[in-house]
Amino acid sequence: MRSSPSFRQRLALGAVLAATAGLALSCPALAADVRTGNNPASGVRRPNILLILADDLGYSDIGAFGGEIQTPNLDALARSGLQLTNFHVSPACSPTRAMLMSGADNHVAGLGTMAELPTPEQKGKPGYEGTLSMNVVPFPELLRDAGYHTYMAGKWHLGLTEELSPAARGFEQSYAMVQGGAGFFDQTGNAPPPDGKGTSKARYRENGKDATLPKIDYTTNFYTDKIIEYIGRNRTDGKPFFAYAAYTAPHFPLQAPDALIEKYKNTYKVGYDVIRDERFKRMQAAGLIPADMKPPAPSPTWPKWEQLTPQQKDAEARRMAVYAAMVDALDQNIGRLVSYLKETGAFENTIIVFLSDNGAEGNDILDLVPAKWVNETFNNSVENTGRPGSYVGYGPGWGQVSATPFRLYKGFPTEGGVRSPTIISYPKLGRGGKPDDQLATVMDLAPTFLEAAGIKHPGDSYKGRAVHPMQGASLWPYLNGQSDRVHPSDYVLGLELFGRASLRKGDWKLVWVNKPWGAGEWHLYNLAEDPTEEKNLADARPEKTKELLASWQDFRTRNGVIFDERIADQLEYSNGTRYYKELEQ
């Protein structure tokens, strides 16, 4: 069932009333001057907003979160701003992006599952359109209505057509890669066409229209160029801007400039355990995790470093070096954006938010793209890995390292799949300068941006159509020290994707993960005592299990979640066995 009848009736009534009265609600913040975007009543100049989204970045990859990868620009933002250590996203990219744009659950926003991976039960069902639903209002549209310039460059992944492009959902200027990913030098797409032959090319749209990517050196650099270009066009007109830098790094295929790969060529030859343990110790020293916390045991599903052949070790060390180079390049480009804001005098009045769209990509990418196409088209030898003619991911071994100290990675509702290394920087914040474990979610960002800009969400109708209200809570009072919490202590956070699910309430978390990664049954964890989700308390605390299961059923009903215990197995993900065999070829 999609939603309760009363809710549908309420949405329909809102649409009728809006249409009858001729209410467009196109400018919710009536006090805002639409020419300048400022609030003349308060005399306060509204802030610019720069939203930076990494793609498949692991929780512990950047320096501020314990990583050995050199990320001085992000580390500086973390030191001066707020470093959120308990920030949650969806387990995969497009559902997170739908939640980000709408402030609502992914099932409400049209991405109940990724467009590429619907099961027969989900196809054609409300909330499973695979595109950003017209039943939600993207917050950039509200910002634009209220006088903001709105810019976007990078990965969209919320609809392929012009009618579903960034230009149609609130962006004044946009250069979007509309698929899930692509090469960083050449433009072979990683989303194969319906014939499954892997012959598609990445698709781009500029301001909604089909575009051919110009000759570039590296897409991460190109997206930064576009954001700077867009901001520069109008920076003297007095209007604030919202800029969305949606980078594709470090999503597969792993590709980076040779000089940066060289920088890390020897770093990862020590193997998974050494890098993970070093990250764990740095995280403890920085106060990111408890000083008495014990490292989680390595998963028995995948081989240990010492069990790999010399050829496998060489391939793995190279792949992680390329990954590190991609993150390094990402940080350098974030530094370019920050430097530009400082040079133009905009930095002091710009809210900068950085996050990842999900946990690290530890899945075998040959489950996602045609193996035959990869093997016949690319040269994935160790020496060529990371260059334009290669096409690899970095597998479950490094995926678990990137997720340190948590369990599993992208595609899973465990903490390793849904915790994002999130940073909020704004010179006028009332909080900052140290790690903060306040629970927050990607759904909270849209209401935060709107409140910071002095804009109200229109509720259940917008421009004559019925829409869903936002479900997130604004971080703004917490960021400014006016509130001690973002959510109440008993806040319920439900999540489902790919037939895997979780329900969090306070410190308790209910998790369902299919075999062989999980038990194929509900497990209960106390995250305050067991943040790595290793000790199942479902049998020991049956009353708590029953309580959370009831909350889960309520979450399902409210959001129209299609769920049964067979969905996850239909996706046919491998357990990594093929990945390690491929390393030998």
Q: What are 121-137's pLDDT values in tens digits?
A: 999 999 999 999 999 99
pLDDT at 477: 96
Evaluate whether residue 38 is within a structural domain.
no
Evaluate whether residue 81 is within a structural domain.
yes
pLDDT at 426: 96
266: pLDDT strictly greater than 90: yes
Evaluate whether residue 231 is within a structural domain.
yes
pLDDT at 209: 97
Evaluate whether residue 270 is within a structural domain.
yes
Q: Which of 26-30, 221-225, 563-567 has the lowest mean pLDDT?
A: 26-30
Query: Is the pTM here over 0.85, yes or no?
Result: yes
Higher pLDDT, 429 or 87: 87
Evaluate whether residue 543 is within a structural domain.
no
| CB contact at 8 A, 505 and 490 | yes
pLDDT at 534: 94
What distance in Å separates the CA atoms of residue 249 and residue 493, rounded to the nearest whole number? 28
Point out the catalytic residue in the list 107, 149, 157, 457: 157
Confidence of residue 36 (pLDDT cuts 50, 70, 90): very low
Q: Which of 3-12, 56-65, 447-456 has the lowest mean pLDDT?
A: 3-12
- Token code pair at residue 349: 């009045």
39: pLDDT strictly greater than 60: no
pLDDT at 67: 98
- Find the mean pLDDT for residues 352-360: 98
Point out the catalytic residue in the list 88, 93, 149, 251: 93
CATH number at 114 reads: 3.40.720.10
- Find the mean pLDDT for residues 13-17: 35
pLDDT at 192: 59
What distance in Å separates the CA atoms of residue 157 and residue 169, rounded to the nearest whole number? 13
299: pLDDT strictly greater than 80: yes
Cα dihedral: 158, 164, 170, 174 (round 10): 80
Domain that holds residue 144: 48-452
Evaluate whether residue 1 is within a structural domain.
no
**Number of domains composing the chain:** 1
- Find the mean pLDDT for residues 469-491: 95
Active site residue 457: no
| CB contact at 8 A, 165 and 475 | no
Q: Which of 60-74, 174-188, 456-470 has the lowest mean pLDDT?
A: 174-188
pLDDT at 194: 52
| Cβ atoms within 10 Å of 186's Cβ, excluding its own | 13
Active site residue 157: yes
21: pLDDT strictly greater than 90: no
Evaluate whether residue 510 is within a structural domain.
no
Give me the amino acid identity at 543: E
- Find the mean pLDDT for residues 552-556: 97
Confidence of residue 189 (pLDDT cuts 50, 70, 90): low
Evaluate whether residue 466 is within a structural domain.
no
